[in-house]
């Protein structure tokens, strides 16, 4: 019995040694990390801007008022219609003013006939006086009658001209190209009775203004940039015509970039002491008519050009509660998260001012598969800036300083 037990223990020991020896084998290699596309930052020219909140305003706003008294006979436009200069808009009963013109015309003709008679008589009396046939008194009376008739002709001409002017006021024409408001008075109502009744308003749309306020330091920065551009053109032997107009771009709330290109055309002659800002105005062609007076808008003006800016695709940039970041693959193919400071967007490429170097491999595709601290399988690719892209500057743009 003792011999069998010893043999069993020996067999179990051999089995245990074999099992423990098998556990010392090397584990299988870890699977490769997920594939991601990486690229080094692109060096390109980036323009920095200041952005401001603006309000659009018509170049011309005209109130159309009744300048003569009468009943409104017709409204010759559709409310809100676009009209051309010279289009007939309103008619105020012209009959009484036409009668006044006819009456003034008849008085003028009567005065002219009287003037011809008195002129002839005066000439006859002058000859008779020279022959000592007429007395000096008769000559002076003839002269007075002649001069009176001449003055009456001048007065009648003025009355006729005034009557024609009043008649012209019965037809109200568009003084400028623009868009009409609704008509303020309905047909059949008396207008111009004691006051110049407002009939409607017309505002121009092409071109259009936008007013905004720029601080004194911002303006000095923009002026310095304009001077640098001028010097650059001189050195390159290029004409300076384009530099006479400082460029400014505009977008409205439903636009993601700044598609409207214009230029500054007015700067106030003083800084407002209470705010330290200067009223500034830009003008835009507005050929598509999308901009209308009274709209809120964002405008931006260039303040500097960096020809060696380090950029990455906008899609590579991540954001959280701590700010902007990029995912970078190190030399061991491990993902690292880098906090970065950003600049403006230029054709879909975001400027990075600090946080990475020009040799870092930034993950530009496969971000959803990359986690900081985990390995990945990178594929190096040089990104190409898109032909056109979102170039708006969000509020994280360090050069964006609202007025």
Average pLDDT over residues 139-167: 93
Question: Which pLDDT value is given to residue 33?
Answer: 82
What's this model's pTM, rounded to 2 decimal places? 0.68
Q: Which domains does the chain have, with CATH numbers?
A: 39-57+208-380 (2.40.30.170), 65-92+172-203 (2.40.50.100), 95-169 (1.10.287)
Which of 39-48, 106-115, 148-157 bottoms out in mean pLDDT, i.e. has the lowest? 39-48
- Where does the pLDDT of residue 72 fall: very low under 50, low under 70, confident under 90, or very high at 90 and above? very high
Task: Give the length of the chain.
Answer: 403
Residue with tokens 């931006």: 300
Question: Which pLDDT value is given to residue 307?
Answer: 81
Average pLDDT over residues 251-277: 89
pLDDT exceeds cutoff 50 at 336:
yes
Question: Which pLDDT value is given to residue 25?
Answer: 57
Half-sphere exposure in the Cβ direction for 394 (13 Å, CA): 9
Distance between CA atoms of residues 73 and 71, nearest Å: 6
- H or E stretch at 150: helix 136-168
Alpha helices in 131-255 (DSSP H): 136-168, 216-235
Distance between CA atoms of residues 142 and 121, nearest Å: 7
- Where does the pLDDT of residue 218 fall: very low under 50, low under 70, confident under 90, or very high at 90 and above? confident
Which of 45-49, 292-296, 383-387 bottoms out in mean pLDDT, i.e. has the lowest? 383-387
Residues 296/55, Cβ–Cβ less than 8 Å: yes
Average pLDDT over residues 164-176: 95
Distance between CA atoms of residues 341 and 363, nearest Å: 17
pLDDT exceeds cutoff 60 at 240:
no
pLDDT exceeds cutoff 90 at 14:
no
pLDDT, one tens digit per residue, over 35-57 is 999 999 988 888 888 899 999 99
Question: Which pLDDT value is given to residue 390?
Answer: 45
Distance between CA atoms of residues 55 and 78, nearest Å: 27
pLDDT exceeds cutoff 50 at 1:
no
Nearest alpha carbon to residue 372 among 317, 334, 332: 334
Distance between CA atoms of residues 346 and 314, nearest Å: 9
Average pLDDT over residues 297-320: 88
Average pLDDT over residues 111-131: 90
In order, the DSSP letters of 33-92 are PPEEEEEPPEEEEEEEEEEEEEEEEES-EEEEE--S-EEEEEE-S-TT-EE-TT-EEEEE
Average pLDDT over residues 168-180: 95
Average pLDDT over residues 135-158: 92
- Where does the pLDDT of residue 158 fall: very low under 50, low under 70, confident under 90, or very high at 90 and above? very high
The structure tokens listed for 231 are: 């010097």
Residue with tokens 């993601």: 256
Which of 24-33, 59-68, 78-87, 147-156 bottoms out in mean pLDDT, i.e. has the lowest? 24-33
Question: Which pLDDT value is given to residue 211?
Answer: 96
Residue with tokens 């967007």: 345
Residues 87/173, Cβ–Cβ less than 8 Å: yes
Residue 207 preceded by cis peptide, ω within 30 = yes
In order, the DSSP letters of 89-120 are EEEE--HHHHHHHHHHHHHHHHHHHHHHHHHH
Question: Which pLDDT value is given to residue 165?
Answer: 95
Distance between CA atoms of residues 196 and 175, nearest Å: 17
Distance between CA atoms of residues 65 and 57, nearest Å: 21
Question: Which pLDDT value is given to residue 398?
Answer: 40
Residues 185/72, Cβ–Cβ less than 8 Å: yes
- Where does the pLDDT of residue 399 fall: very low under 50, low under 70, confident under 90, or very high at 90 and above? very low
Nearest alpha carbon to residue 351 among 312, 391, 305, 398: 312
Give the rounded distance of the alpha carbon of 270 from its chain centre. Answer: 23
Average pLDDT over residues 171-197: 94
The structure tokens listed for 394 are: 């969000």
What mean pLDDT is reported for the chain?
85
Average pLDDT over residues 254-258: 84
Residue with tokens 């008022």: 65
Question: Of 4-13, 200-209, 378-387, which has the strongest mean pLDDT?
Answer: 200-209
Terminal-to-terminal C-alpha distance of the chain: 102
Distance between CA atoms of residues 58 and 209, nearest Å: 6
Average pLDDT over residues 214-220: 86
Average pLDDT over residues 219-233: 73
């Amino acid at each position: 019995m003792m011999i069998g037990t010893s043999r069993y223990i020996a067999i179990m020991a051999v089995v245990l040694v074999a099992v423990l020896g098998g556990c010392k084998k090397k584990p299988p290699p870890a699977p490769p990390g997920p594939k991601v596309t990486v690229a080094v930052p692109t060096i390109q020219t980036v323009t920095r801007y200041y952005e401001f909140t603006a309000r659009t305003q018509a170049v011309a706003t005209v109130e159309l008022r009744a300048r003569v008294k009468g009943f409104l006979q017709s409204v010759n436009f559709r409310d809100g219609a676009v009209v051309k200069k010279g289009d007939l808009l309103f008619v105020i009963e012209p009959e009484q003013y036409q009668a006044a013109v006819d009456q003034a015309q008849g008085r003028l003709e009567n005065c002219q006939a009287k003037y011809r008679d008195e002129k002839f008589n005066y000439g006859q009396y002058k000859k008779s006086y020279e022959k000592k046939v007429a007395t000096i008194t008769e000559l002076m009376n003839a002269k007075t009658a002649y001069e009176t008739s001449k003055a009456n002709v001048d007065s009648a001409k003025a009355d006729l001209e005034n009557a024609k002017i009043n008649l012209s006021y019965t037809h109200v024409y568009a003084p400028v190209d623009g868009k009409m408001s609704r008509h303020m008075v309905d047909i059949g109502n008396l207008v111009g009775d004691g006051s110049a009744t407002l009939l409607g308003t017309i505002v121009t749309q092409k071109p259009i203004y936008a007013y905004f306020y720029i601080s004194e330091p911002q303006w000095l920065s923009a002026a310095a940039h304009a001077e640098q551009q001028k010097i650059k053109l001189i050195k390159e032997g290029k004409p300076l015509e384009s530099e006479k107009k400082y460029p400014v771009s505009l977008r409205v709330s439903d636009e993601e970039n700044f598609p409207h290109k214009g230029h500054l055309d007015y700067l106030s002659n003083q800084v407002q002491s209470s705010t330290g800002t200067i009223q500034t105005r830009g003008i835009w062609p507005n050929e598509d008519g999308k901009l209308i007076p009274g709209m809120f808008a964002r405008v931006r003006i260039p303040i500097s050009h960096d020809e060696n800016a380090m950029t990455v695709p906008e899609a590579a940039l991540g954001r959280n509660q701590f700010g902007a970041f990029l995912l970078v693959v190190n030399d061991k193919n491990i993902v690292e998260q880098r906090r970065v400071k950003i600049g403006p967007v230029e054709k879909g490429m975001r400027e990075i001012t600090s946080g990475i170097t020009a040799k870092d491999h930034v993950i530009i595709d496969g971000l959803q598969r990359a986690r900081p601290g985990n390995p990945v399988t990178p594929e190096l690719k040089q990104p190409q800036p898109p032909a056109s892209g979102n170039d708006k500057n969000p509020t994280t743009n360090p050069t964006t300083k609202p007025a």
